[in-house]
Every structure is written in C-alpha cells, then in structure tokens.
C-alpha cells in the first residue's frame, strides 16, 4: 500500500536522515538535476525577456527612421506587397503585445491585489510566478489553485469564500479578453494568430511569442493572395 510505504519512509527519515539520504542519493540527485534544469530554463527566459526590453527601447528611440528603412527593404524584396506585409507584421506585434503581455500584466496585478488583501503569504513571489506563467501561455492556474486550497485550510471561512469568489473569475479573464484584443483590427483570423502565439512560445520562448504569429500571419496572407491570383487567372481564361 502507498500509505504504508510512505509511513515507513517518513519514519526512517525521522530516525536517521543521513542514512536515508545515503540510500536515496541517486533519486535525490535526479530530482535536483530536474529542478536545476527548470530553474536554468526560467533564468534564460528572463534574461531573454530583459534583453528584448533593452533592444525594444533602443529601437523605439529610432522608430521613425527604422520604419522608413524597413518599409524600403520590404518593398525592395517583395515589391508593392512588401509594405502590406510590413503592416501585417506591425499590427500582429501590437495586438500580441496587448493581448498577451498586457492581459497577463492586468491579470497578475489583480491576482496580487487579491492576495495582499486576503493576507496570503509570499504574495509578491506568487504574483511574479503567475505573471510568467500567463506570458508563456500556461496560465496562472497551476500556482493559484494551490493558493485557493491553502486559503480554505488556513484562512477564516468567510475570507476564504470571498477570496475564492474574487480569484476564480480572474483565472478565466485571459480566456475572454485575450482573443478579443488579439483579433481587433487584424485581417488575419484569430485562430491563426493564437496558433502562432502558442507554437511560437513552445518553439522559441518569449521571442517566439512574437515571431510565431508574425510568420503565420504573413504565410496566411501569402496563401490567400496565391489563391485569389489563381481564381483571377481562371476567370480570365473563362472570359476568353
């Protein structure tokens, strides 16, 4: 039985921790390597995010000049449609930033405010983890559901009920607002943009969060233009 094994393990740990560690050094090392890998991955993502902010700040300072150069290059490479592709990329980046990062910041801020009012310990650290999980498209549920469970076990019943009633709708906030914000003003279907966000994040982390939807949005427009050109050619041949 699992309970008996766990009881025996806990009893051995209470009697002789050194012997227990010696007997399970391989398993402990495996867990340590797994946790170190997760920590290293999160640290790398945070460094990339910080570097992206620095680069974005530098580009923003020369945005007008760089926009003219980018438009000339796009028109030089793709002809008259180059500027159109550039507009698609700009609109996609803007909507993804507002729909993903903006909604994640709003959601994390509201969750953190609720934890501060309810007296949840380590509210700042939990809010930061919830923000990171929201940005990478996992969502804050993995860290907030244990907080709700802890609230019911440690806080007064009325406080836990009010906190739960406040927090649960916030956990669904991104599912409602994010598609609306991301699809606003775009010719690209929302499904394509969301697929680009998810696939790009899985493949390239925070950088892929923006690269993925741009690639899919431009590819979608290319396919649509190719199909329209084919239909036009068929109509012209039929008219002849």
pLDDT per position as a tens digit, 103-122: 888 888 999 998 998 888 88
pLDDT at 85 exceeding the cut of 80: no
Of the pLDDT bands very low, low, confident and very high (cuts 50, 70, 90), residue 162 is very high
What residues make up the domain containing 8? 1-52
- Listed ranges 31-35, 64-68, 143-147, 216-220; the one with the highest mean pLDDT: 143-147
CB 97 within 8 A of CB 193: no
pLDDT of residue 28: 67
Establish if 78 belongs to a structural domain. no
Higher per-residue pLDDT: 57 or 204: 57
158 lies in the same domain as 99: yes
Establish if 169 belongs to a structural domain. yes
Structure tokens at 102: 């903006």
Domain boundary among 32, 52, 72: 52
Of the pLDDT bands very low, low, confident and very high (cuts 50, 70, 90), residue 30 is confident
pLDDT of residue 135: 78
Share of the chain above pLDDT 90, in %: 4
pLDDT of residue 121: 86
Establish if 127 belongs to a structural domain. yes
Q: Compute the average pLDDT of residues 74-81.
A: 74
- Give the chain's domain count: 2
Establish if 3 belongs to a structural domain. yes
Establish if 121 belongs to a structural domain. yes
Establish if 218 belongs to a structural domain. yes
Average pLDDT, the chain: 77
pLDDT at 2 exceeding the cut of 60: no
36 lies in the same domain as 131: no
The overall pTM is greater than 0.75 = no
pLDDT at 1 exceeding the cut of 60: no
13 lies in the same domain as 115: no
* Alpha-carbon gap, residue 97 to 163, rounded angstroms: 29
């Amino acid at each position: 039985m699992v309970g008996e094994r766990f009881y025996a393990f806990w009893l051995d740990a209470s009697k002789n921790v050194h012997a227990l560690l010696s007997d399970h050094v391989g398993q402990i090392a495996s867990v340590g390597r797994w946790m170190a890998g997760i920590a290293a991955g999160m640290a790398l993502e945070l460094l990339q995010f910080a570097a992206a902010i620095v680069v974005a700040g530098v580009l923003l300072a020369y945005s007008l000049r760089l926009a003219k150069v980018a438009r000339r290059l796009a028109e030089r490479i793709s002809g008259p449609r180059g500027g159109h592709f550039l507009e698609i990329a700009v609109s996609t980046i803007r909507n993804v930033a507002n729909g993903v990062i903006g909604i994640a910041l709003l959601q994390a801020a509201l969750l953190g405010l609720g934890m501060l009012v309810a007296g949840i310990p380590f509210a700042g650290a939990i809010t930061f983890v919830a923000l990171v999980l929201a940005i990478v498209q996992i969502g804050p549920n993995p860290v907030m559901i244990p907080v709700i469970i802890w609230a019911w076990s440690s806080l007064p019943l009325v406080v836990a009920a009010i906190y739960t009633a406040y927090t649960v709708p916030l956990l669904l906030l991104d599912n409602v607002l994010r598609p609306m914000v991301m699809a606003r003003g775009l010719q690209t279907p929302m499904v394509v943009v969301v697929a680009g966000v998810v696939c790009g994040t899985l493949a390239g982390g925070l950088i892929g969060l923006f690269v993925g939807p741009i690639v899919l949005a431009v590819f979608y427009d290319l396919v649509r233009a190719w199909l329209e050109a084919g239909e036009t050619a068929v109509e012209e041949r039929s008219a002849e």
